[in-house]
Structure 1
């Protein structure tokens, strides 16, 4: 009886002590921190009524003049070093990358194969996968994929023409969904060699699975909290994060596509072909004697999954926000159209890989869109060993501590970007970019763990926007939401009601 009573009191007391110690970790070390909520840490309201981007901006602005290069932050119960000083961010991402190679995020190769993709992997496995995938996204590979992107973009323009009749005052179109259908078709062709045709038939499995993977949680609040707060424990408990339906769809798709191509001896210049070659090669030994393991079907499916997910969502959102700003700034839109038409005229009216690279103002417009509408709000790393902050010998980021770099907040810092709420592509003139530190613009990350698919994302975004601007004029209408109402349920920057614009023929 006494033993039972002892445990009834001792266990809650122990849990309360652990909770107290965790929540006061930074305060006890003399590091500033907004007092964290007992359950939600410093992201209270996320997935309810607060957008993660806004949480970061408010938190960063509160401490950016504190004099500390980093402050304390709790992402749920995951206590993290929140990087305020961009010079320290540069050390983490580039100069001292060897001590911050891992992200420390949840992945479970055994029970949740799709979670073990390049973005989540750590250590030796990440390094091997990165080395294997990097050749897929070289300039040469982009040229091979370019005709496929052009083919989809031409169908995209046909669909737009059908929605904007000639001899009319234009049509009001919800562009966000349309952009997502375009990038879904591009990724389907370039990753799988499959014509998804979501431009014509929006309700496809590809589109549905993408939406579910971004918004639908497999577990309830308690297990989701455990996965995000204690990823190592969650892996030991064999928890899964990916929805069953999404998992089954992508595993089956990759298995069937690989089996069909191997049987029929089909060769294509796409992402799937490269994965098939990796699978067929199996394990091999480097000159150093180090053995590189072969990849199983789950690991291959995980890379396809993240390529598809990242490729369609980031690019479609960037295009949508870009058109939203161009509709409000018709002078910038006209200047961009003038460049697009001029470059096309110099290339006999054909949209080629080379002429896309000549559209410098288009790059400026896209870069400014990504600054103002940073799709992924922050970067994450983990200290591999104790790290003494340069210039601050008393400040140490302990081994195993997660590190958060609030990219979206940097992008709206008035000291880095004067009048930060203004849409101004001239911020990205060549001289302006050269004078700015690279870590002050982080939509694709920076350093050895930057976005491996950056070139592909930029290519499809440039092609899509060039095709639209050369043929159509965009403006605001009575249905245009200004300002936009963002969705607090998603990690990436998304809207609740879509983006409605008036579209006319040029």
Structure 2
């Protein structure tokens, strides 16, 4: 009798569970918004963590529903998520109606995982105050003062590439560029001589790489974590591994203590944060806030920039005419500046701008932008109202590969960013760093180190694809930052 009661109770719970999930999956239908039919177990996350990069996932929905509806409803597990498709509506969200969409809706847990508490993840008032406080660290003047430090690392990068060239081996471009960007960040953010280009086994490089190579959760699990942030905080779930949290906490604490004890000041990002940490005014930053900003600057600064650089050199290897034209342009501009790579010389390289922007267009580091409604929002031209707290995604990768904005989007074409082409294109059709008040704060720094990496790697060397590079490129699904499966390997030779 007891067994029958247990079985009956279990069956009842299963039936109620199934009915509850099915009811959740009627959300978009009741809203009157076109939607992608979800799978019972994982919603519309099929393929994520197995074979679909998030940019490719949202591209499927974008292409299927474009012209049918300004948005499409999907489900991440059982969580309703809106994917915005109409370009004018996306512009409103990012700029005109920003007050209703100022939060990203990204998971953070300040109590248990201070690394997750940074500008990218923080909501509302906390974000605004911190953004205003940190903005002076990323002005053009700051970039100019940091450039000499970057250039010292650039010299080491050229030596590293020359060593590979003389060895006759294929170049793992992502690895070399990760070493380069890691050293730039080490110098400009922490004031550390990390020497990753000379010793790739150092702990600073190993720990930074492990954030992406050995994450705490799979991509699909991370999507679910983001969807149920409130429950995750109650369960005190951390986004990063304990080893990573301890390493960065100790690094930042020791750096702050050393500089305060020695009364040593440096012209780097860390010094600006230390000044804010020790200030008595309203701009004061707690230790955890300093830790979070330093961590995200390090991680985003080295990984995203290294990703851009690897795809740039891949495209140049695939397009030798563009590679030769860019090399000629770089050397031509440098001759105008007495052969010196200076901040002013880089600003004068217009074709380099076009090549880097086309790399960002075709291979954006992040496939989508996340936002969350902070107020009820009536979708223009419809009777639909998105409720406060609704998660939404803007499909960067899909927009960048839409032939309406970029004819023959699979072709690498720097002329997509000629002055005339940019002027005639919708202003929101290019979103590698977002747009509006919440656009990437570190874009100047990131672009500067990417351009320096291209100049350093290209002016004395030329590249072709190695047979070790898998063709066609397939984006790995376990990374939120775009990475090609098997890496990109290049043959390299010196330019006579």
TM-score range, shorter-chain basis?
over 0.9
Asked whether the 8 Å contact 1:379–1:407 carries over to 2, the reply is yes
What SS is found at the alignment partner of 1:426? helix
The correspondence for 1:480, drawn from 456, 469, 472, is: 469
Contact 2:58 2:83 in 1 (8 A): no
Residues 132-173 of structure 1 show CA distances to partners (whole Å, capped at 9, x for unaligned) of 1111101011011111110000111011112222xx9x5421
Residue 441 of structure 1 aligns to a residue whose secondary structure is coil
Partner of residue 332, structure 1: 322
**Deviation of the 1:28 alpha carbon:** 2.3
C-alpha separation in 2, matches of 1:266 and 1:17: 64
Query: In the alignment, is residue 277 of structure 1 matched against residue 279 of structure 2?
Result: no
- 2:102 pairs with 1:101: yes
How far the C-alpha of 1:435 sits from its partner, in A, is 1.8
Partner of 1:299: 289
Contact map agreement 1:438 1:446 (CA 8 A) in 2: no
Residue 203 of structure 1 deviates from its aligned partner by 1.6
2:344 equivalent to 1:354? yes
Q: For 2:96 and 2:43, how far apart are their aligned partners in 1? A: 30
What residue number does 1:287 align with? none
**Alignment pair present for 1:460 and 2:462:** no
Deviation at 1:467, TM superposition (A): 1.3
Q: Of the candidates 297, 302, 306, which is equivalent to residue 316 of structure 1? A: 306
User: In structure 1, what is the equivalent of residue 478 of structure 2?
Assistant: 489
Instruction: State the Cα deviation string for residues 476-498 of structure 1 (Å, max 9, x = none).
Output: 23333321232111112112211
The change in CA–CA distance for 1:422 and 1:195 in structure 2 (over 3 A counts) is same
Q: Tell me how far 1:97 sits from its aligned partner.
A: 0.2
1:237 aligned residue (235, 238, 247): 235
Instruction: Output one character per residue of 1:384-417: Cα deviation in whole Å (capped at 9) or x when no partner.
Output: 111111222x122221111110011100011111
Q: Matches of 2:172 and 2:102 in 1, distance apart?
A: 41
The question of whether the paired residues in 1 share the 8 Å contact of 2:354 and 2:415 is answered with yes
Name the counterpart of 2:86. 85
Distance 1:33 1:215 in 2: 34
- 1:226, distance to aligned residue in structure 2 (A): 4.9
Hey, what's the Cα distance between the residues in 1 that align with 2:95 and 2:5? 55
Q: Per-residue deviation at 1:10?
A: 5.7
SS in structure 1 of the partner of residue 392 of structure 2: strand
Contact residue 469 and residue 487 of structure 2 kept, 8 A: no
CA–CA distance in structure 2, aligned partners of residues 112 and 362 of structure 1: 39
Deviation, structure 1 residue 4: 7.8
Gaps of 5+ in 2: none
Structural mapping, 1:144-183, within 5 Å: 144-165=145-166, 171-183=169-181
Point out the more displaced range, 431-440 or 375-384.
431-440
1:15 counterpart residue number:
17
Quote the offset at 1:58 in angstroms: 1.7
Distance 1:250 1:338, change over 3 A: same
Q: Report if the CA contact (8 A) 2:32-2:384 is conserved.
A: no
1:207 pairs with 2:208: no
Aligned to 2:67: 65
TM-aligned CA deviation for residue 128 of structure 1:
0.8
Contact 1:487 1:495 in 2 (8 A): yes
The worse-fitting range, judged by mean Cα deviation, of 400-409 and 473-482 is 473-482
CA RMSD of aligned residues (A): 2.0
Q: 1:231 to 1:283 in 2, by over 3 A?
A: farther
The counterpart of 2:373, out of the listed 383, 389, 403, is 383
Contact 1:175 1:320 in 2 (8 A): yes
In 2, Cα distance between equivalents of 1:224 and 1:375: 18
Moved more, 472-481 or 453-462: 472-481
Query: Which of the residues 40, 43, 46 maps onto 2:42?
Result: 40
Normalising by structure 2, we get a TM-score of: 0.95
Q: Distance in 2 between matches of 1:364 and 1:224?
A: 34
Q: Is the 8 A contact 1:171 1:504 kept in 2?
A: no
Deviation track 1:101-146 (CA, whole Å, cap 9, x = no partner) reads 1111111111111111110000111111111111110101101111
Secondary structure of residue in 2 paired with 1:439: coil
The gaps in structure 1 that reach 5 residues or longer are: 285-291
How many residue pairs get matched?
A: 493
- Mapped partners of 1:205, 1:32: distance in 2: 49
Alpha carbons 2:110, 2:117 under 8 Å: kept? yes
Partner of residue 289, structure 1: none
1:505 aligns with 2:494: yes
**TM-score of the aligned structures, taking structure 1 as reference length:** 0.93
Which residue pairs with 1:124 in the alignment? 125
Aligned pair in 2 of structure 1 residues 274, 18: CA closer, same or farther (>3 Å)? farther
Q: Say if 1:78 and 1:133 are closer, same or farther in 2 by CA, change over 3 A.
A: farther
Shift of 1:200: 1.1
Separation in 2 of the partners of 1:31 and 1:225?
22
- Secondary structure (helix, strand or coil) at the match of 1:16 reads helix
Distance in 1 (CA, whole Å) between partners of 2:354 and 2:365 is 17
Q: Distance in 1 between matches of 2:7 and 2:173?
A: 62
Aligned to 2:397: 408
- Aligned match of 1:441: 430
Structure 1 residue matching 2:170: 3-state secondary structure: strand
Q: Tell me, what secondary structure is at the counterpart of 2:490? A: strand
Are the equivalent residues in 2 in contact too, given 1:226–1:234 (CA < 8 A)? no
Maintained 8 Å contact 2:35/2:73: yes
1:56 alignment counterpart: 58
Q: Is the 8 A contact 2:49 2:220 kept in 1?
A: no
**2:114 alignment partner in structure 1:** 113
The question of whether the paired residues in 2 share the 8 Å contact of 1:388 and 1:397 is answered with yes
CA distance in 2, matches of 1:476, 1:216: 28
Which residue does 1:372 correspond to in 2?
A: 362
Residue 7 (structure 1) shift: 6.4
